[in-house]
């Protein structure tokens, strides 16, 4: 199996049949797109030299999800806990309830209102409309995964639901 490791912030070393080559990030990116199954990412701690292997195409890279997104969603979910009780959302909603609520919050934000005054009053901390929209999408994903989401979308896989029922 071919391997590469980051040797510093500027270069990569490509290991193949025991030979080392300096490759640019552009070269590595191109090769990984063509043959991703051949690569294993080997990172080395500059402080200790400890190595860690990560399969590049299978493990999620949480560094791309900013903590602000998590914080804003959590604040809204906490306000929901105060109003509805802990984990009430696990009982399920309809797709359209959650999408409509997310869109309403995005619309408020788009129209210049950053903080949701109603949710903030309930939770005692500033809750943003973006955070509320994220919370609705969070609930949508969780309920879909756990089978508690009721699918009331009017179009399923390109077909209008009424046409399916006739």
DSSP secondary structure code for residue 63 in this structure? G
Residues 6+ apart with CB under 8 A from 1: 38, 39, 40
Ranges of each domain in the chain = 3-59, 67-165
Are the C-beta atoms of 39 and 27 separated by less than 8 Å? no
pTM here is 0.65
Token representation of residue 57 = 């195409």
pLDDT in tens, the chain (166 residues): 344 444 444 444 444 544 555 666 676 677 666 655 555 555 666 667 676 665 555 667 777 889 999 999 999 999 999 999 999 999 999 999 999 999 999 999 999 999 999 998 887 899 999 999 999 999 999 999 999 999 998 876 677 666 666 6
Q: Angle of helix 129-146 relative to helix 67-84, nearest 10 degrees?
A: 80
The whole-angstrom separation of Cα 35 and Cα 126 is 47
Measuring CA to CA, which residue among 131, 138, 130 is closest to residue 109?
A: 130
The whole-angstrom separation of Cα 3 and Cα 18 is 10
């Amino acid at each position: 199996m071919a391997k590469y490791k980051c040797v510093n912030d500027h270069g990569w070393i490509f290991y193949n049949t025991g030979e080392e080559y300096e490759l640019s990030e552009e070269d590595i990116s191109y090769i990984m797109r063509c043959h991703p199954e051949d690569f294993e990412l080997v990172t080395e701690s500059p402080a200790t030299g400890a190595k860690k292997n990560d399969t590049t195409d299978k493990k999620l890279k949480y560094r791309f999800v900013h903590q602000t997104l998590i914080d804003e969603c959590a604040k809204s979910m906490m306000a929901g806990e105060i109003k509805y009780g802990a984990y009430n959302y696990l009982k399920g909603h309809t797709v359209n309830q959650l999408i409509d609520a997310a869109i309403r919050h995005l619309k408020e934000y788009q129209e210049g209102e950053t903080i949701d005054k109603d949710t903030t009053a309930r939770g005692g901390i500033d809750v943003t409309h973006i955070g509320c929209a994220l919370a609705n999408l969070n609930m949508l994903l969780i309920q879909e995964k756990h089978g508690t989401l009721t699918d009331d979308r009017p179009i399923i896989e390109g077909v209008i639901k009424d046409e399916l029922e006739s």
